[in-house]
């Protein structure tokens, strides 16, 4: 701890800021490609990759173009990607049945990625929203609410199919109670002892996910339609710690806070309290805001790096960010 008896002019903190070199030497936090995970969208039946309007520089990839994209990412030194599928509308139903089809689009894409790039870590979400007509992360009961215990059985089966396809890191993003334990138990039983579980533990019911829903062409959640009965209330932080504790006890290897910048306090609290590998998701709305302001030249493009370094300072071990590739290229 600094000696606070020392006063000006003995203490001149500007000495340590006086040149670029000394600033580098005393930097408390650094960002490297090892800290970055690129989320990638891949769309079924798509011929040519298409840019997502609200996520400048980010594309819906075809089965072919995603391989080229991963090749580029590997060259930058990025070690992990999170793959999000956009599923044909005629394959969606109320129960998200296509999620547990071992021959579904995403499982086939993952197999191809792992055949071509065995070293890249593939992360896949466990949640039903890409597969349901209503866009919820689980199946609905007769009241129209997501049925927790029915949903986690389906999520368990979805997770097993993803692992069989070659997924390295299973990332339940659904916020059902008890899902980490159920998935961990199933993985143990099937001898998938080394499959990693990255739990979206403190996932808030946030409006910052808007552009993601455009990207995956999922049902819109505005007005009364929300995920408030399963995703966390924005007002709460103690509850976030409770969620993280449960997920660790149920067998999570890594915990995650999401969104990122509006929730740096949560990220710091989680890291300080549990000292577990802790990831953060800089979500689509955060990226879109920064990109829009950069495009208008209201902000310089260094803000993206600044936002990512702030996650490191708050305690993140790794960051899921749409800016991963562009930042990795400049590191």
Catalytic residue numbers, as ranges:
203, 258
Among residues 131, 204, 212, 311, the one that binds ligand PBG under rule CB under 6 A: 212
Among residues 283, 308, 323, 327, the one that binds ligand PBG under rule CB under 6 A: 283
Q: 154 and 126 in contact (C-beta within 8 Å)?
A: no
Q: Which residue has the tokens 């990839």?
A: 61
Question: How many angstroms separate the CA atoms of 103 and 326, rounded?
Answer: 33
Among residues 35, 44, 98, 129, the one that binds ligand PBG under rule CB under 6 A: 129
Secondary structure element (H or E) that encloses residue 320, with its range: strand 318-321
- Nearest distance from residue 84's CB to ligand PBG, in Å? 7
Instruction: Kindly state whether residue 62 participates in binding ligand PBG, applying the rule CB under 6 A.
Output: no
Residue 12, SS3 per DSSP: coil
Among residues 67, 110, 122, 127, the one that binds ligand PBG under rule CB under 6 A: 127
- Nearest distance from residue 195's CB to ligand PBG, in Å? 19
Interface with ligand PBG in residues 215-244 (CB under 6 A): 227
Instruction: Kindly state whether residue 42 participates in binding ligand PBG, applying the rule CB under 6 A.
Output: no
Q: Taking the mean position of all CA atoms in its chain, how far away is CA 112?
A: 22
Nearest CA among 129, 124, 116, 120 for reference residue 163: 124
**Burial of 245 from C-beta contacts in 10 A (0-12 / 13-18 / 19+):** middle
Instruction: Kindly state whether residue 125 participates in binding ligand PBG, applying the rule CB under 6 A.
Output: yes
Instruction: Kindly state whether residue 35 participates in binding ligand PBG, applying the rule CB under 6 A.
Output: no
The site for ligand PBG (CB under 6 A) is made up of: 125, 127, 129, 137, 173, 209, 212, 227, 283-284
């Amino acid at each position: 701890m600094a000696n606070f008896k020392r006063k000006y002019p003995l203490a001149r903190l500007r000495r340590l800021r006086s040149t670029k070199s000394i600033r580098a030497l005393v930097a408390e936090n650094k960002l490297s490609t090892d800290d970055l995970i690129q989320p990638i969208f891949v769309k079924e039946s798509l011929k040519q990759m298409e840019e997502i309007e609200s996520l400048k520089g980010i594309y819906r990839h075809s089965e072919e173009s995603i391989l080229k994209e991963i090749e580029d990412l590997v060259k930058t030194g990025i070690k992990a990607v999170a793959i999000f599928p956009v599923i044909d509308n005629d394959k969606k139903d109320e129960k998200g049945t296509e999620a547990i089809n071992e021959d579904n689009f995403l499982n086939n894409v993952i197999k191809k990625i792992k055949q071509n790039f065995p070293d890249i870590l593939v992360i896949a979400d466990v949640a039903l929203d890409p597969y349901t007509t209503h866009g919820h992360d689980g199946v609905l009961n007769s009241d129209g609410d997501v049925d927790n215990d029915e949903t986690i059985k389906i999520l368990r089966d979805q997770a097993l199919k993803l692992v069989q396809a070659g997924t390295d890191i299973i990332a339940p993003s659904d916020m059902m109670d008890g899902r980490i334990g159920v998935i961990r138990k199933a993985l143990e039983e099937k001898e998938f002892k080394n499959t990693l579980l990255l739990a979206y533990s403190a996932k808030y019911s946030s409006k910052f996910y808007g552009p993601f829903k455009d990207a995956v062409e999922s049902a819109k959640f505005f007005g009364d339609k929300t995920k408030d009965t399963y995703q966390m209330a924005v007002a709460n932080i103690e509850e976030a710690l409770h969620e993280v504790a449960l997920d660790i006890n149920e067998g999570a290897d890594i915990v995650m806070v999401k969104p990122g910048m509006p929730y740096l306090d949560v990220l710091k609290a989680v890291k300080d309290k549990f000292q577990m590998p802790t990831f953060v998701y800089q979500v689509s709305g955060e990226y879109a805001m920064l990109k829009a302001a950069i495009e208008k030249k209201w902000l310089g493009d260094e803000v993206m790096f600044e936002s990512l370094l702030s996650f490191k300072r708050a305690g993140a071990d790794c960051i899921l960010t749409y800016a991963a590739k562009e930042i990795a290229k400049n590191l």
